[in-house]
Amino acid sequence: MQLSPLELAIILLIVLLLFGVGRLSKLGSELGRGIREFRRGLSSEDEETQADKPDS
């Protein structure tokens, strides 16, 4: 079962009406910040792993 573009637009409109534009933009920015922090954590973990390995 796949949603048509019209159905997606209706769902988006309902979500906008329920939560409001300001709240959705705040949620989006917080989600983006969380993803950036997660990526930073992964990259710093990789750097620590590389530093712990002895050179052969």
Q: What is the pLDDT of residue 24?
A: 82
HSE toward the beta carbon, residue 32, CA cutoff 13 A: 6
Domain locations along the chain: 21-46
Could you list the beta-strand ranges (E) of 1-56.
none
Q: What is the pLDDT of residue 21?
A: 81
Convert the pLDDT of each residue in 19-40 to its tens digit: 888 888 898 899 999 999 999 9
